[in-house]
Amino acid sequence: MLACLLGAWLLAGNVQAQEIPTRKDSLAAPTDTIRQKFDERVMNNLREISQRKTIMGKMLKAILVFDRKDEEVLGLDAELIQREYERHNYKVVRNIQIMTLDALGYSIHDTTRVPRSFLEKAGNSLHMKTRRHLVRNKLLFERMEPLEPLALVESERLLRQTDYLLDARIIVDERTTTEDSVDVLVITKDIFSLGGSGSYSPSSGAGRVALRELNFLGLGHQIRGSYRFNMNAPRSWETTAGYTVENIGNTYITADINYFDQNYYKERSAFLRRDFFATNTRYAGAVGASKIDERILLPPVPEDTIQRFADLGYHRQDVWLGRSFKFKSYNLGFEPRGRLITALRVINTNFHTRPTENFQDNILGIASVGYSVRRYYKDRYLYGFGRTEDVPAGTLASISYGYERGDLFDRRYFGLDLSFARYNKDFGYLYSRAGYGSFIKNGNWEQGMLELESMYFTRLYENGNWKLRHFILGRSTIGINRNPEELLSINNEDGLRGFRSGLLRGNRRVVINYEANLYTPFSLFGFRLATLAFADVAWLSYGNKSSPFKSKPYPGFGVGIRFRNEFLSFSTIQILVGYYPKIPANESFNNLRIYESSRSYYDFEDFRFTQPGIAEFR
């Protein structure tokens, strides 16, 4: 599969370049055909071939889009929660018209565009379009009800963040607006919700197959499943499955059922949950139960040449409830963004397999108070390849206090968290967070953790159809009086991407990651191509009083290519080459690694208040 994708990319580099149309000037000098770009000459030749009535001509006409243009997207780099429609606040919503567009060949910015190619028409015939009532259930306003502040922009953002929708626009029809009523048009565009991924290694016979349906029968239900085979592990196969039903009965309550049967982790769980999905959401909470069995890695000793594990198993019941309070505003056309939030959570854990005496049956009650300010901006070419993306900014501060009653001992818990982010179209995006949490037993602070994180990405640099953006991420996790079996790694998302050490573990970690993304104008079958270069460095130390910087860091460098079709539910496909100069002691693996990944290494942290809990040490 990787070979096919690589071949498709090479063909795309010589086949299709997407050019933003420029305005023609009658006084401009005639085009110099000698200096015409190579990709333009190739495109012109292929266009001529596609017009012939030959097998090759018909095939090229079916698979290639010669007149693709970058869509003009209005309102980017503008704040989403703005006062564009403030003159319509508290007017009665007279009519709501909903237009749902199929996944392929349609445009949310140009509703006159229709599918033209055979593949677009065939793909839409296999896709079940989202039903209008699902879109209506996402809206924060109703017909014949007054239009609350923020209802339009928050509804648009919620639709755009729905897994089975690519984009959404909510428009007030100014032609029919009166002094006391409005008509609203809602336009959504689907993605091709059926997708999957897979990999296969001919040398070992190992592989993986994953399938998912994000909009089953157009009802918004999600089905996920994966299967790995011929693994070099205690058991040769692994499987996972999940089922999700969102926004049950227009309550924004979501049901999740998950099943994991892996070599070192097994889970059966079911939850009902409701988040603070919008700025003005009043109540959130969750209730659920899970059964988990896993094998945890034991602390390393200098003579270790293989990993040592111990079994851990427990049942857990979990429930929490949160309430949001808004501050009083004397401006009826403006709703304040800040919210004061209180929450209470109770977790009951019973262990049926304990690897050490540090694990006890317990009931943990934890309460928290927080302050959240949320705003969103629009931008493109961050984690997507041209779709509209919502960039969160704001401030979130919370303080937590809890009490754990166990069968061996009782103790208290204290936690503090503060994060903020700022965005500017010229400066870029800056996010920073600091968090601390620790148990307190007999006056001693134990199982504590200090987390520091900062992420910055630059503005988008453009040269014609070529676009460049830089990402920098810094993270540190400092364990304070942690138990010996609580360990950190620097593998993959935890430190160096592509790095995989079975023995290298510690209690304190510092990581710096850099990445440059170059978005190219090339595409094939709708898959856009980006190239990337990265440099990672990680420090790791073992011991509750150790310093990560006293040891030599582990670096990693690499390059890669990235594919994505925004209209499909396939994950972003990455083919990376990584080089790791330093190898851990007692281990032997190749410094150079070629691998495929579908996980995003970076992600936004929303300023949504979440359930109170214990800071996770990982």
Report CA 318 to chain centroid distance, whole Å: 25
Looking at domain 78-190, which CATH architecture does it have? Roll (3.10)
DSSP-assigned states of every residue in 3-17? HHHHHHHHHHHHH-B
Q: Is 86 helix (H, G, I), strand (E, B) or coil?
A: helix
- The list of the chain residues with pLDDT below 70 reads 1-43, 46, 58-85, 302-305, 329-336, 524-526, 566-571, 598-600
Those residues whose C-beta lies under 8 Å from the C-beta of residue 578, and which sit 6 or more positions away, are 496, 497, 498, 499, 556, 557, 558, 592, 593, 595
3-state helix, strand, coil in the chain (%, to 5): 10, 45, 40
pLDDT value of position 41: 62
Q: Could you tell me where the beta strands, DSSP code E, fall in 136-237?
A: 165-172, 181-190, 194-200, 207-216, 221-229
DSSP-assigned states of every residue in 356-376? STT---EEEEEEEEEEEEEEE
Domain boundaries, the chain: 42-71, 78-190, 264-597
- Burial of 374 from C-beta contacts in 10 A (0-12 / 13-18 / 19+): buried
* Helices H / strands E in the chain, number of each: 6, 24
pLDDT value of position 416: 96
Closest CA to 47 of 30, 26, 68, 29: 68
CA distances to 40, 50, 194, 598 from 67, in Å:
12, 13, 27, 30
Closest CA to 500 of 546, 458, 556: 556
pLDDT value of position 13: 41
Q: Please give the single-letter amino acid code of residue 530.
A: A
- Burial of 170 from C-beta contacts in 10 A (0-12 / 13-18 / 19+): buried
Q: Please give the single-letter amino acid code of residue 301.
A: V
pLDDT value of position 8: 39
CA distances to 78, 87, 109, 379 from 75, in Å:
6, 18, 12, 9
Query: Alpha-carbon distance 529 to 534, whole Å?
Result: 17
pTM: 0.76
Query: Alpha-carbon distance 174 to 188, whole Å?
Result: 20
User: Residue 218: what are its φ and ψ, rounded to 5°?
Assistant: 75, 15
Burial 500-528 (b: 16+ CB within 10 A, else e): ebbbbbbbbbbbbbebebbbbbbbbebbb
Closest CA to 495 of 533, 534, 449: 534
Closest CA to 270 of 238, 239, 296, 245: 245
Q: What is the pLDDT of residues 26-71, one digit of tens each?
A: 333 344 444 445 445 655 776 777 777 777 776 666 555 555 444 4
Query: What strand order describes the sheet that includes 92-101?
Result: 92-101, 181-190, 165-172
Those residues whose C-beta lies under 8 Å from the C-beta of residue 360, and which sit 6 or more positions away, are 351, 406, 407, 408, 409
Pairing type for strands 238-245 and 221-229 reads antiparallel
Pairing type for strands 309-326 and 338-353 reads antiparallel
Tell me which CATH code domain 264-597 carries. 2.40.160
Residue for token pair 């009931």: 363
- Three-state SS string across 493-514, please? HHCECCCCCCCCCECEEEEEEE
